[in-house]
Amino acid sequence: MSELPQSPGFTSRPILRCRNLERYLGEGENRVQILRKVDLDLDRGKIYAITGPSGCGKSTLLYTLGLLDREDSGEIWIKDLKVSGADDHERTEIRNRTIGFVFQFHFLLPEFTALENIMLPMIKLGQMSSGAMQSRAHNLLEEVGLGEKSKRLANQLSGGEQQRVAIARALANQPDIILADEPTGNLDQKNSTIVIDLLCRMAREKDQTILVVTHNHAIAEACDQTLPMLDGVFASACEPA
């Protein structure tokens, strides 16, 4: 991949940083601003929760920072790479190497086993042998407590088990950043607690950064910092001076 522009000088760079990020949806009279000049710094090894009412821009921000969606204006850096404005090939490569995703719906392939689902990001990245990928996938399944179910088809797992496989899949390429959009939204309270505890523990052990969108107060309280959003901007930016 070609070298991308570096962020302007600051000695201790956040792992992920954005400035004046804007995003619109729709066209013409239906054009609506979703993100309003959002600024954000995320430090390595910390866990952040974005909270706020439905429709305030939480998920849009997550997908834009994760390079699944394009910003309309503003700048994004991941480590020392300026990724805003990168072409599709560069965005895909950066995303595969540095970001893991956990969604409300696990998006496992039902006809694949738990082990095969975890191997998919590694296959896509293309940097490991088949044996090494299988070994890492097995280790991740052990870490999420599903080592004995490696050959079980995804659609034969419970909802909580499927989400734990999704967490293992998100960690497969050892990303610096985990982005999670309502990761416990489809789970009962018991499985919600298991999933968020597991996600936080594994990220802390691996010194990864998590940004999670959630309506769950228990999840927000487990994070290092809560970032409330309102009308497309962080609430603190709306407060009068």
Tell me what pLDDT residue 9 has: 40
How do the pLDDT tens digits run along the chain, 241 residues long?
333 333 344 346 789 999 999 999 988 888 999 999 999 999 998 999 999 998 899 999 999 999 999 999 999 999 888 999 899 999 998 998 899 998 877 889 999 999 999 999 999 888 889 999 999 999 999 988 899 999 999 999 998 899 889 989 999 998 999 999 988 877 788 878 887 888 888 778 888 999 999 988 888 888 899 999 999 999 874 444 3
Is there a domain that residue 86 lies in?
A: no
Is there a domain that residue 87 lies in?
A: no
Which residues neighbour 121 within 8 Å (Cβ) at sequence distance 6 or greater? 96, 100, 169, 172, 173
Tell me what pLDDT residue 154 has: 94
Is there a domain that residue 38 lies in?
A: no
Number of domains in the chain: 1
Is there a domain that residue 213 lies in?
A: yes
Is there a domain that residue 5 lies in?
A: no
DSSP-derived 3-state class of residue 174: coil
Is there a domain that residue 8 lies in?
A: no
CATH number reported for the structural domain that contains residue 224 in this entry:
3.40.50.300
Question: Given the DSSP bridges, would you call strands 16-25 and 32-42 parallel, antiparallel or unpaired?
Answer: antiparallel
Residue among 152, 155, 137, 52 nearest 61 (CA): 52
CA separation for the pair 182, 175 (Å, rounded): 19
Is there a domain that residue 56 lies in?
A: yes
**Parent domain of 48:** 44-70+97-238
Is there a domain that residue 27 lies in?
A: no
